[in-house]
Amino acid sequence: MSGTVERASGAAAADEVASPCINVCVMDAASGFCIGCWRTLDEIAAWSALDADAKRAVLAAIRERRARAGVRE
């Protein structure tokens, strides 16, 4: 039975999406984005409740924001 539990937890770990937070938590009033992770307050607040697909969508939005601002990865 423990083999089943290990596979289940391993599958969940493989689908986890890491938070973009870099512990520089300051909101830019002009843009509405955190200057550290480029998320909105709503995205930050919702992060822990989002499923993996929604988290990936937020990460894609962050990449677009950074690109529009001319910030390199």
pLDDT, position 13? 67
pLDDT, position 44? 98
Longest CA pairwise span in the chain (Å): 54
pLDDT in tens, the chain (73 residues): 555 554 455 555 668 999 999 999 999 999 999 999 999 999 999 999 999 999 999 999 999 999 999 998 7
CB neighbours of residue 52 within 10 Å: 12
pLDDT, position 72? 82
pLDDT, position 23? 97
- Buried b vs exposed e over 10-38: b needs ≥16 C-beta within 10 Å? eeeeeeebeebeeeeeeeeeeeebbeebb
User: Which amino acid makes up residue 59?
Assistant: L
Q: Is this prediction's pTM over 0.75?
A: yes
